[in-house]
Structure 1
Amino acid sequence: MTASPTPTASWTAPQRWTVAATVLGSSMAFIDGSIVNVALNAIQQSFAAGVAGSQWVVNAYTLMLAALILTGGALGDVYGRRLVFGVGVGIFALASVACGLAPSLQILTGARVLQGIGGALLIPGSLAMIGAVFDDAGRGRAVGLWSAATSATNLLGPVLGGVLVQQLSWRWAFFINVPLALGVLWCLRGVPETRSSGANRPDLLGSVLATLGLGLLTYALIQAGESRAAGLLASPAVLGSAGALLLAGFFAWERFSPAPMLPLALFRRRAFSGTNLLTLLLYAALGALTFFLPLNLIGVQGYTPAEAGAALVPLALLLTLLSRVAGSLAGRLGARLPLTAGPLICAVAFALFARPGLGGSYWTTYFPAILVLGLGLSVTVAPLVSAVLGSVADGWHGTASGVNNAVSRTGGLLAVAALGLIMLGSFRGELETRLQSRALPPALVGTMMAQADRLAQVQPPATLPAAQTRALRQDVQQAFIGGFRRVSWWCAALSVLAGVVGFFSFSGSGKQQEEQA
């Protein structure tokens, strides 16, 4: 069922309810992502968790989104977009309650898996429902309102998360989703059901293979960092190999499936494969940086959660203000310039994150890096979206957008695990060197090194004199900064590679001329 054409200035009641439901639903999902990163330090303290536990709080959600978001869109096309969207909102809300009440890190991680399933059902439905109930004349205005609302969410999410964590508890970072979900379900009463008569049934086998493959590969990377001290390298190697084989099976199935969730034929187009490789590299860097930055600001630099959330506002503000301008320029100049320059500007920003040491004013340490990163992303994001859509025929726009969304989630998922391994190795090595240089008793060194997987939350024994405790705490903080610098340089390298991909994926001048072969 599709609404009949209406003047752009006057929306029908179903159209108004659709915009309200999709804006609230998308805001709920986007707020959750930004709030959880700010809450990670408090979650880690609450459960005395190591870095692996913190990684799974993020990755359990991201894994399900990366593996199932295409399936979620297909389910909406077949069984009804409003129905699947509503089911996703309900699962997301119930999982949020479970996250907020979780008595252990294991239960929190399991609830985050359910949240990811809910997100994979609701996120693809937002723009699909808008596209189904608006005609061409009204669709642009509706999408513009949706985009403005989600941009405002990106601005307010980290600040709201910081305030909730600081004034109440990290658990409210999840409870906040419940009133939003109730508002979405109320609005859905006025949304017409729509579906696609020619849609293919969801590729369930492909979903299972992708989920298991990515899950095992991610687990192997995280487990390698946890197991290094015990010498259990074989287990991560076996798990990683199994994950790689399952992913190979996934691509083989997609190659021969009559209705694949990931049409591999699209990747024969240079522009489509290039934009997705660029997305994988850039969002890998961004995902790793935004995972470790709040841990640095709160756990090492002494920011409050609210201050850490507010520190990221300039980035979101620049994205909101400049993305439209960058998109317009890319339309005139072509995709190559912004998709080369944007990632390279981001690489400069990631390098700037490696500059600050311990202490110092926000305005002279992290603000310049955040400002440059906001500029780089502003130059990149809108042209990247346009390039993805422009690299395929009109009938494939929804699939192309979904694939690119899944690729961006996959990049963040793998980078948090892989660069977490680098962070942990660097932290352990530098902390041990610093402790041994103080000629401490071996038992004291062993006590502190046994906590090394907690990163900045490693605590000296409570019986030590205050002056020695402060000195050892500073060793822990400096070791974290050393690891953070290494991660930042890796992020810069990934971003440089993304810029190189952008340069070679498009023609040199004029409007983008993606290859359609």
Structure 2
Amino acid sequence: MATSNEVTAETVTEADRQADGTRTSWGLRQWGLLVSVCAAFFLDALDNIMVGIAVPPIQADLGMTTESVQWVVSSYVLGFGGFLLLGGRMADLLGRRRMFLIGVGIFAVGSLIGGLTDDGLIVIAARFVMGIGAAFTAPASLSIIVTSFPEGAQRNRALGIYTACGAAGYSTGVIVGGALTEINWRWTFLLPVAVALIAFVGALALVPRDDAAARGERKLDVAGAITVTAAMLILVYAIVEAPNQGWAAPRTLLLFAVAAVLLAAFVGIERRTPHPLLRLGLLRNRALVGASLVAASILGTYMSFQFIGGLYLQSLRNWSPLEMALAFLPIGLLIATIAPRAGKLIARFGIQWMIFAGFVAYTASYLLFLRIDETSSYVWVILPSILLIGIAFPFSFPAANVQATTGVDESEQGAAAGVLQTGYQVGAAIVLAVVTATMSVDDTGGASTAETLSGYHNGLYVVTGISVITMIATLVAALRASARRRRPSAPATVTPLKSRR
């Protein structure tokens, strides 16, 4: 799965090992640029965890049904996943800085509207708008980092810090979200507005304007943009709704069929247009495709684990939102501690071995969590799984980002980031939908404790199975990468992938 574009990613990693000791220190402006861009990732993590905690109070305050309130979370995923490929390519065409600022602005407006309204439908619409803002911000921020820091040790270090900022947002959101929800759920929407403004001002001052020559001819593939965005919106919507409608229901099958037709139309358009939204040759980059599949497994299994863990603690064990938030806090603390050192770890052990080590920890975590019952001890049963997740994420997430962006021409970094982020978001939607379908938990109070626990275990079996498959695939990729490095004929230099049709 996590194979590289032949020797590209692992050859760069070998160079990192040699260059790590001579890395140039960063100036104040570089640090300011990095912090400003990382603030967007901080904001995304902060917002998601806070709104997740605030869903029950939102439902009670606005009188929303269980079916409708789930769209407070799902509409964000819909907007994010649906517009990612468009957002990534627009960053390449119109400028990464410009799209970053536009994305942060859209996010802030959506968050402000969501915090001020008294209508549940408007809250859902606001979350969709916020997802669109994140779809523009995420690929732009990643490509700004990639194009601002040289390939190798410096970039690996920057991506490790990028991960740590997301963890800091998660940790802050866990505590602040629990506390703010106790006061009023609206503050979980209004606080991100202030953070977005800080990120906007910081990026405006510190992120340099893109070189006009690097932005190409700025010709947007309108037909391709419409078809792929519509296809992704319908695909994500179908996945999110499938557990409620039924995977074999006529409506679900029709939605999947429409998405498939639109994707086929998109491929046909991209083959003919002189300025494609997504150059199809980019999908022959095995490093990028492999990293995107790994990304799908990372976020898909973790979000499902968090979903099951939240239900277990709040619904079965009757923990408060703040208690549940504190239970998951060690994940963010560990990521924030380990992730800044990810660059050195990647340089020492290699991209593939870091991803494999991450999935060893993920798999062990999910296996250990299968021990939960109605009286499980937090310290002996739950905490070990939490700690292993906190180790797994900073091992796998920065390494997947490095693999996806290594060897990609600078003019296509936004598109590559969009493909990678699509892997994260669509993977999370698919795995969570499958897990939800297999759980079949009655949340109306009609199921016994044993039946509820059985449902949680069924979901965990799916999560664990996906993690095991990914772990085996990444082990194979790591062994192949090691074998290539041992070959005397292995090339010593890397030629970036140029734009070609």
TM-score interval (norm. to shorter):
0.7 to 0.9
1:505 aligns with 2:477: yes
Q: 1:214 to 1:147 in 2, by over 3 A?
A: closer
Instruction: Give me the whole-angstrom Cα distance separating, in 2, the residues matched to 1:132 and 1:224.
Output: 39
Shift of 1:174: 1.0
Q: Which residue of 2 aligns with 1:212?
A: 230
Q: Which residue of 2 aligns with 1:94?
A: 109
Q: 1:270 to 1:364 in 2, by over 3 A?
A: same
Shift of 1:139: 7.2
Q: Which residue of 1 aligns with 2:310?
A: 294
Instruction: Give me the whole-angstrom Cα distance separating, in 1, the residues matched to 2:228 and 2:435.
Output: 21
Shift of 1:493: 0.9
Superposed CA deviations along residues 218-241 of structure 1, whole A, max 9, x for unmatched, are 43344443345xx99322222222
Superposed CA deviations along residues 451-472 of structure 1, whole A, max 9, x for unmatched, are xxxx2xx25xxxxxxxxxxxx6
1:485 aligns with 2:453: no
* Matched-pair contact (CA < 8 Å) for 2:292–2:421: no
Where do residues 6-405 of structure 1 align in structure 2 (5 Å cutoff)?
Answer: 10-11=27-28, 18-19=33-34, 21-46=36-61, 52-129=67-144, 148-166=164-182, 168-188=183-203, 190-191=205-206, 192-197=208-213, 198-199=215-216, 200-227=218-245, 233-323=249-339, 327-390=343-406, 392=408, 396-405=412-421
Shift of 1:195: 4.7
TM-score, normalised by the number of residues in structure 2: 0.79
Secondary structure of 2:232's counterpart equals: helix
Secondary structure of 1:365's counterpart equals: helix
Q: 1:476 to 1:164 in 2, by over 3 A?
A: farther
Instruction: Give me the whole-angstrom Cα distance separating, in 1, the residues matched to 2:267 and 2:303.
Output: 24
Identify which of 441, 449, 457 aligns with 1:427.
Answer: 441
Superposed CA deviations along residues 88-134 of structure 1, whole A, max 9, x for unmatched, are 22221121122223434432221111001111222333355566778
* 2:418 counterpart letter in structure 1: G
Instruction: Give me the whole-angstrom Cα distance separating, in 2, the residues matched to 1:163 and 1:73.
Output: 35
Greater gyration radius: 1
Q: 1:175 to 1:281 in 2, by over 3 A?
A: same
Instruction: Give me the whole-angstrom Cα distance separating, in 2, the residues matched to 1:305 and 1:331.
Output: 40
* 1:486 counterpart letter in structure 2: N
Instruction: Give me the whole-angstrom Cα distance separating, in 1, the residues matched to 2:240 and 2:165.
Output: 35
Q: 1:193 to 1:488 in 2, by over 3 A?
A: same
Q: Which residue of 1 aligns with 2:7?
A: none
* Matched-pair contact (CA < 8 Å) for 2:361–2:391: yes
* Matched-pair contact (CA < 8 Å) for 1:333–1:511: no
Instruction: Give me the whole-angstrom Cα distance separating, in 2, the residues matched to 1:175 and 1:372.
Output: 33
Instruction: Give me the whole-angstrom Cα distance separating, in 1, the residues matched to 2:122 and 2:331.
Output: 33
* Matched-pair contact (CA < 8 Å) for 1:161–1:173: yes
Instruction: Give me the whole-angstrom Cα distance separating, in 2, the residues matched to 1:17 and 1:332.
Output: 27
Which segment drifts farther, 45-54 or 341-350?
45-54
Which segment drifts farther, 48-57 or 105-114?
48-57
Q: 1:479 to 1:238 in 2, by over 3 A?
A: same
* 2:250 counterpart letter in structure 1: A
Shift of 1:9: 6.1
Q: 1:241 to 1:300 in 2, by over 3 A?
A: same
Shift of 1:502: 1.5
Secondary structure of 2:453's counterpart equals: helix
Which segment drifts farther, 122-131 or 64-73?
122-131
Q: 1:328 to 1:252 in 2, by over 3 A?
A: farther
**Aligned-residue CA RMSD (Å):** 3.6
Superposed CA deviations along residues 144-164 of structure 1, whole A, max 9, x for unmatched, are 765554442232222211111
Q: 1:379 to 1:302 in 2, by over 3 A?
A: same
Give aligned-pair identity as a percent. Answer: 26
Q: 1:268 to 1:147 in 2, by over 3 A?
A: closer
Secondary structure of 1:170's counterpart equals: coil
* 2:456 counterpart letter in structure 1: F
Instruction: Give me the whole-angstrom Cα distance separating, in 2, the residues matched to 1:492 and 1:157.
Output: 27
* Matched-pair contact (CA < 8 Å) for 1:29–1:119: yes
Which segment drifts farther, 483-492 or 47-56?
47-56
Shift of 1:352: 2.5
Instruction: Give me the whole-angstrom Cα distance separating, in 2, the residues matched to 1:509 and 1:133.
Output: 29
Shift of 1:321: 2.8
Q: How many residues align?
A: 462
* Matched-pair contact (CA < 8 Å) for 1:298–1:305: yes
Higher relative contact order (Cα pairs below 8 Å, separated by 6+ residues)? 2
Superposed CA deviations along residues 403-436 of structure 1, whole A, max 9, x for unmatched, are 212211111122233322333xx225xxxxxxxx
Instruction: Give me the whole-angstrom Cα distance separating, in 1, the residues matched to 2:101 and 2:113.
Output: 18
Secondary structure of 1:312's counterpart equals: helix
Q: Which residue of 2 aligns with 1:407?
A: 423
Q: 1:377 to 1:22 in 2, by over 3 A?
A: closer
Shift of 1:60: 1.7
Shift of 1:298: 2.1
Which consecutive residues of structure 2, in runs of 5 or more, have no partner in the other structure? 1-23
Shift of 1:214: 3.1
Instruction: Give me the whole-angstrom Cα distance separating, in 2, the residues matched to 1:9 and 1:340.
Output: 30
Instruction: Give me the whole-angstrom Cα distance separating, in 1, the residues matched to 2:472 and 2:150.
Output: 39
Superposed CA deviations along residues 433-456 of structure 1, whole A, max 9, x for unmatched, are xxxxxxxxxxxxxxxxxxxxxx2x
Q: Which residue of 1 aligns with 2:11?
A: none
Q: 1:291 to 1:57 in 2, by over 3 A?
A: farther
Q: 1:189 to 1:349 in 2, by over 3 A?
A: closer
* 2:460 counterpart letter in structure 1: S
